[in-house]
Amino acid sequence: MRNKLHVVLADIHYPVHCRKSIRAVFQFIERHRASIESCVLLGDFLDCENLSPHTKHRPRLRKRGGYRSDIDGFTREILAPLDKLLKPTCKKTAICGNHSAWIERDLLDEQPELEGVVDIPILLDLEARHWRWVPQGGHIKIGNVTLLHGDQIGSGPNIAKKLVESVHGTAVMGHVHRPSQFTVTSLTTAKDKWSGYTLPCLCTLAPAYARGRPNAFCNGFGVIEQGATSTNVSSIIITNGTFCWGGWEYGHKDH
């Protein structure tokens, strides 16, 4: 029996996404379409810079019509292709990250009259597209694995440790744009072990706010492989738009 695959895409940050990496992920989804049981957008799939509190009093960083443009572009370049590539029975989930939450926490708190007009689930027509929307701070489970964006966990060099100790079980998060893993075991039995995983991102590795400072960001995504009695989490690293998995290389135009 073929194992089930679950594709986890964290931190696309459209429109500052990595087009080469996205193209490679699309190739992967196309090849494994029959085995992919679910696809998860693990937060911050929209950058929302045009509505960010960090650009509120810096108008030169905002573009006229930018938010609408980002919504339309994400639909055209990311969401519509995913809907086409994934099989009709695939479960699709979009988890709200901290960037998307700016709309509710900052914009709508100040201008509640805009509720229903600027909301991401409505503008992306997620319900009609059969995507489940999970509000900020929420999570889902795939087998025994908990998935969440991770802004409620935080960041730092030991974030995978903090994740697994906070969830008290195996868990996967995005938010920090870099892969890491930490494993803990039960005090009472060495047979019980849980791992926390942070995933790489699908956006630029040199964001403008970093001003050229070095970082440990990596492009990539997550794959959860679920068998009859076991589940394995893999963090796939994409380098210069290509990666290898299961005997195939993805990312070449002639793939």
pLDDT digits (tens, 9 = 90+) for 47-96: 877 665 556 556 556 566 667 888 999 999 999 999 999 999 999 999 99
Which whole number is the average pLDDT over 128-138? 95
How confident is residue 31, by pLDDT bands cut at 50, 70 and 90? very high
How confident is residue 176, by pLDDT bands cut at 50, 70 and 90? very high
> Can you give the pLDDT at residue 52?
59
In Å, how far are 113, 145, 242 from 123, measured between CA atoms?
A: 16, 30, 32
On whether the CB atoms of residues 95 and 149 are closer than 8 A, the answer is yes
Which contiguous run of DSSP H or E holds residue 224? strand 219-226
> Can you give the pLDDT at residue 50?
64
User: Which of these ranges, 56-65, 82-91, 149-158, 225-234, has the smallest mean pLDDT?
Assistant: 56-65
Q: Any idea where the domains of the chain sit in the sequence?
A: 4-139+216-250
On whether the CB atoms of residues 53 and 106 are closer than 8 A, the answer is yes
Q: Is the pLDDT of residue 150 over 90?
A: yes
Q: Is the pLDDT of residue 193 over 80?
A: yes
Task: Using the structure block, give the residue that is written with the tokens 């070095």.
Answer: 214
> Can you give the pLDDT at residue 1?
66
Structure tokens at 216: 């440990």
- Report percent pLDDT > 90 for the chain: 67
Q: In CATH, which of 3.40.50.11540, 1.20.1630.10, 3.60.21.40, 2.40.110.10 is domain 4-139+216-250? A: 3.60.21.40
User: Which of these ranges, 34-43, 142-151, 179-188, has the smallest mean pLDDT?
Assistant: 179-188
Q: Count CB neighbours of 232 within 10 A.
A: 11
> Can you give the pLDDT at residue 229?
86
Which whole number is the average pLDDT over 93-104? 82
pTM of the model: 0.91
Rounded CA-CA distance 115/102 in Å is 13
Which whole number is the average pLDDT over 180-209? 88
